[in-house]
Structure formats: structure tokens, C-alpha cells
Structure 1
């Protein structure tokens, strides 16, 4: 989150919910390629007097048993792990008792609050090689059959240019059937940050390579966009679908700058995005940390999409 002031009121966006029965679990995985990830950013707010009763504790309590039940699952953390400045004490006192319980199952990306402490050193110290190797703050891995890429949306100038060059090389050498990238600042968002165009070049490279998904946080809400290119043009055949999942527990903020091609929005509930990464498709489901707060007769966002 940046410095834009917004009222700390919870706003329910009706586009997220449609009338129907409660969301059932995904069917059991078939084959050997299915892999499940749980994603959210904007997590541990250290102003809370007791982390055991924080929003981060609620989302951690949601994710932890799901990870325990499924060895083929992991967490993608979308930046701003702690507030306000990503200090070592914040990771120790606020993040470790909540999402830190599954640090060894987490693949992170840094947010702007990590860099409020010079060099984001506590973040890199906390996650170690999982935050990148060889002095880089970006990396890639395979989860099931998917190529998963973590990028650093805080880089500028030559450092950012080097990241984009690395991304092109990485996509060329590992042409997986399905690709997911994640970073902190969304290219598209209806939240309180006007779309800055940050990471447009990364989105363009991913679109040209036929990538499926981009996940981001930064705005403290949930939003799903249609498949589109880096200039906001709908592309139903090869477009990249972006999710904003800034619902990790920090605090909710309202929608302000409503964007074209936004298909689902929710600014009332903490929760995580569950993604089933299949051999040639993906399924998504928003999991609220407090299901009892979901309006009666409504169903949180979910869907399925074949890979390009």
C-alpha cells in the first residue's frame, strides 16, 4: 500500500457474489499433475494488539489445515507481508505467529512495505533462498506442470530492465503448457491506487509468451479481471487473467477507481485465492476467512479456464 488515504470502512461489492448454494470443495485431484496454491498479500498488521486475533491469524487458520491435508500444495504470498515497514521485529512478532507457521511452504514476492526498510533486508533474511538467489529478488519454479514466476514490482531503471531480460530468457527456456506470474503492484485495479502502468512491460512479455495468470496484491481487496493484454484490450483466446488478492488480513479498503474488464470485486472479506493448477487448465475459488460473513444465499467467486 502507498500513501493514499482511504476511509477504513468495509465495502461489499455485489459483483463477487451470485445467488446459489455454498461453494463446494473442488473434486479430488486426478492424475499426477494437479497442484494447489493459496495466494494472498497484504497480511500482518503489527498495530493489532495481539497477532493471535488479527486478520492475518484468521487467514492463516484457513490455510494451514488445507496445506496439512495436501502435500501437493503451496502458498504464494503477494507482498506487504508486514506493516508498517517490514522490520525484522515485525516478521518476528506479527508474521511468524500467523503465516510464518507455513513459511517452508511459502513462495514470496516483496511489496513496497518491505522496502520501507532499506533493501528489504528483513524480508530477504526471513525467507532466505525462497525469496531469490544470486542476489536477485525474482525467481521461477515448477509447481506440478506449471511454470510459476515471482517478479519484483519495486525495481526501477537498470535493475528492472535486467529483470525483464531475465523473464524473456526464462520463458523461452521453459515453455511450459501453463504459466503463472506473481508480483505485488497490479497493472489493473479498481482499488484506491490509480493504475500506475507499473509492470506493463512484464505483462506484455507474458502475454506474448501465452501465459495464463498474473496475481498481485497492494490494494486490500479481491478483484478478478477478464483475459486481456497489457493495454487493457480483451483477448478471450490468449489474454492474461489478473487477480488482485490483497485480502491476507491487514485491513480492508474500498474500491474507488473502477476499471474496465473487472469481472468480480469484493472489499469486505479477508481471505485467500485457491487455485487448482491442472495439466491444461486452472480452477479458482475465493475462500473467505470468516464464511459466516458471506451474505446468505450467496456464493464467493469461482471458475475454471483452459490454458492458452
Structure 2
């Protein structure tokens, strides 16, 4: 189980083809009395027709799939009726709420082979995607970092995207710097483009930077925080110097178009009518290194 199995299972497309992914974390809050009218239902209703229109598109779920404790009943009653409708199109990473249940066993049972060992890689078109588990510590984390180092050497793709739950930098309510600096350092050294995380329940885009928070326009890694999957919103508290765009009032998902040598992004709000008149959600495009 792990990288080799998932690489074999994922479609390997021609490098010139475009592959679209939709990403968010912090999704299904089981306190809501009816999942059909929850924030998770709203973001699922946004994503589902987009997946239907593009059979090659995929979902990256950025952890904290259910609240409060990642129990099997939460996956069955809160996640399955919403984002579970496209489980077979989803590549997940675990959050801290999954580990509130020992070993995050319901998470691994629900996603099965797609959860890997908690970390794995896959190819989408010309892009190398790497999912890491930001909850690991000690020897388990050291093994993950050793795997990441080997994975980056084994598959030195032109464009690389990594995703895990806890952001290294965030202006949200969890004080930075966060976890995974060593992973960020390896990705920066390898010329990776993007890191996606959740944890703070907001949307934030950072300028390309290194693992120490220094701007690096030439080879920096751009980090997105997308904790807007539907759980509940939290405010910005620790404003960071390299933050380029922030939104803490809207549920939604990040749309990434993975091109042969570039990427384009848009934040898609679940309720477009709540976007202030005359403004447009965050969007842009950048070439791969």
C-alpha cells in the first residue's frame, strides 16, 4: 500500500493535457441537525456538477473531514451524504480531528486504499502530487520525511504540488509557524510549486516563499490555506507579511487547473450571491519553475 499502488491506480495523462482539481478541508460539522442544509452540503453542491462535467477532474480533501472526532458514525451520517458522493474522485489527507479517534481508524477505513499509509503520491497529467500526514511525530514523521526525500528524487517532475492539513504559515487563529517545516524545505529545494493546507477555517493565498518565510519570486513555494469546506468560519488573527489574499466569510473550494508548465487558480464560493458587488474572488496564474 502507498505510493506505488496509488500511482498505478491514478490515470497517467499526456503532459500537454489539463487536469483540474478542487480542494478544501474542514468539511462536515456533525452538530448541524440536517446534513442536507449544512455548509458541507453547499460546497458539495458546488463541486459535484463540476466533476460531472469533467470526468478527469479530481478532489483534494485537506483534512478534518468530520467534526468533532472523526468517528465512523460521523463519516456515515455527515460526510457520506455530502462530500462522500464523490469519494471515488477524492484524494484525501488526514487532519487532527480524524486523530481524535485513536489511529484515525475510521478515516483510513472510509477512504481505504486512497488513504495509503497516511502519505502517498500520484500523477495527474504532468504534475506530481504528494499527500503528507501532518499529524505524525517522532519516528513515524521521520519515516515520512525520508520517503518524501526519495519520492522527490525518484520523480523530479517539472510541476509538483503537495498537500497536508496543518499550514506552515497562516493568518488564522493557529499561531505560525506551524508544522511541516522540514517537508516544506525539501519541496522548496526540489522546485515544487504549491502546498495546500486547511486547519484554519478560512481562505488565504501566500506569495512564493521558502520554509523560513522569506520571499522567493524565482523558486519559492506558494501556499494556499483552504479550510473553507463547510464546517464553520474562523477569523484572521495573526496577519502574516507574505499573505496576498484572504477571505474568512465564505465557504468554498479552490479550483486549480494544472497545465503542462503552469497552474491557474480560482476561489469558488459556495454562495456567489454573498460576494460583495463589484469584487471578484481570488484568481490568477503562474508558470512552473
TM-score by length of 1: 0.89
Partners of 2:143 and 2:219 in 1: how far apart?
26
SS of residue matched to 1:282? strand
- Distance in 2 (CA, whole Å) between partners of 1:300 and 1:187 is 23
Counterpart selection for 2:217 from 236, 240, 247:
236
Looking at structure 1, the residues matched to 181 and 286 of structure 2 have their Cα atoms a distance apart, in angstroms, of: 23
- Deviation of the 1:197 alpha carbon: 3.4
Distance in 2 (CA, whole Å) between partners of 1:78 and 1:231 is 23
Aligned to 2:74: 90
Rounded Cα–Cα distance in structure 1 between residues aligned with 2:17 and 2:221: 22
- 2:7 aligns with none
Q: Deviations over 1:225-276 (max 9, x none)?
A: 0000000000001000000000000000000000110000000000000000
1:75, 1:42 → 2: CA distance?
14
> Please, which of 157, 178, 195 is the counterpart of residue 176 of structure 1?
157
Aligned counterpart in structure 2 of residue 107 of structure 1, from 81, 88, 91: 91
> What residue number does 1:260 align with?
241
Between the aligned partners of 2:248 and 2:111, the Cα distance in structure 1 is 29
**2:123 alignment partner in structure 1:** 142
1:33 is aligned to 2:17: yes
TM-score (norm 2): 0.94
> Could you tell which deviates more after superposition, 193-202 or 281-290?
193-202
Distance (Å, rounded) in 2 between the aligned partners of 1:124 and 1:107: 12
Structure 2, unmatched stretches of 5+, are 1-13
Higher relative contact order (CA closer than 8 Å, sequence separation 6+): 1
Alignment of 1:38-57 (within 5 A): 38-57=22-41
Displacement after TM superposition at 1:72 (Å): 1.7
Equivalent residue number for residue 277 of structure 1: 258
| Cα distance in 2 for residues equivalent to 1:178 and 1:93 | 37
Deviation string for 1:23-50 (max 9, x for gaps)?
xxxxxxx984210000000000000000
1:195 Cα offset (Å): 1.2
**Which of 53, 56, 63 is the equivalent residue of 2:47?**
63
The 5-angstrom pairing of residues 282-293 of structure 1 reads 282-293=263-274
Q: Secondary structure at the match of 1:298?
A: coil
Corresponding position of 2:10: none
Q: How many Å separate the matches in 1 of 2:180 and 2:15?
A: 35
Is 1:78 the counterpart of 2:59? The answer is no
User: Match of 2:6?
Assistant: none
SS of the residue 2:73 aligns to: helix
Give distance in 1, aligned partners of 2:64 and 2:194.
20
Q: CA deviation at 1:144?
A: 1.1
What CA distance in whole angstroms lies between the structure 2 residues aligned with 1:222 and 1:175? 29
Whole-angstrom CA distance in 2 between matches of 1:170 and 1:177:
14
1:60-95, CA deviations, whole angstroms, 9 ceiling, x for partnerless residues? 000000001001210000000000000000000000
